[in-house]
Structure 1
């Protein structure tokens, strides 16, 4: 699978909540780091924790609009525009999800955000 295909399949798995498909894209020892101080912040270690993190994020009802797939020689990034509404809280953020690839699988993920304060407020409480 090319990096482009890997990125598009990752996005497809996330938006469709197809965790079995997402599992096939990652190494068993994958990690995912998100900034901030909220329910989804920090580093998830191992494929089970990463899938649990993805499920938690998706449970908040986000729209994950893929704007661009960015490729380096060996790795990839997804430029996303995430939006959601939860009561009075509105999430409207641009982000880059940067994936380090090893042997054709995602080895680590790090997410960079445009609105850390908004993310902290939106993900402070459990989804309804």
Structure 2
């Protein structure tokens, strides 16, 4: 396999599974001890520990009706990142943010995820605790 193709393929597959709401597909890409950290103070922020918690976080984010537009897959010698443009509308509240989701890989799987956002206050306003999807 060409150099960096593993990272590119993992990034393409992760995005495709997220966009298709393929939770088993996402789970298959993760190590059991994976973590996912998101900034902010909202219904999806903080750190999710373990593969099941990461899948549940992905489900919760998707439940808000997000469109996950893939802009770029970025690679390093051992890891990858997704550059995304996420948009959604919940009533009068609109989400329009750019983000990078940095994935550290181990043994061909995602071992940790850290998401960097362009608009943390906008994310906090969209993923409000107490909304129908934010519980």
Alignment counterpart, residue 94 of structure 1, candidates 93, 98, 108:
98
Q: Using structure 1 for the length normalisation, give the TM-score.
A: 0.97
Structure 1 residue 64 corresponds to structure 2 residue 68: yes
Q: Using structure 2 for the length normalisation, give the TM-score.
A: 0.92
Offset of residue 70 of structure 1: 0.3
Cα RMSD for the two superposed structures = 1.1
Structure 1 residue 50 corresponds to structure 2 residue 85: no
* Number of the residue aligned with 1:126: 132
CA displacement 1:47-101 (0-9 Å, x = unmatched): 0000000000000000000000000010000000000001010000000000000
Residue segments in structure 2 that go unaligned for 5+ positions in a row? none
Offset of residue 127 of structure 1: 2.7
Residue segments in structure 1 that go unaligned for 5+ positions in a row? none
* Number of the residue aligned with 2:116: 112
* Number of the residue aligned with 1:41: 45
**Structure 2: distance between partners of 1:78 and 1:98:** 7
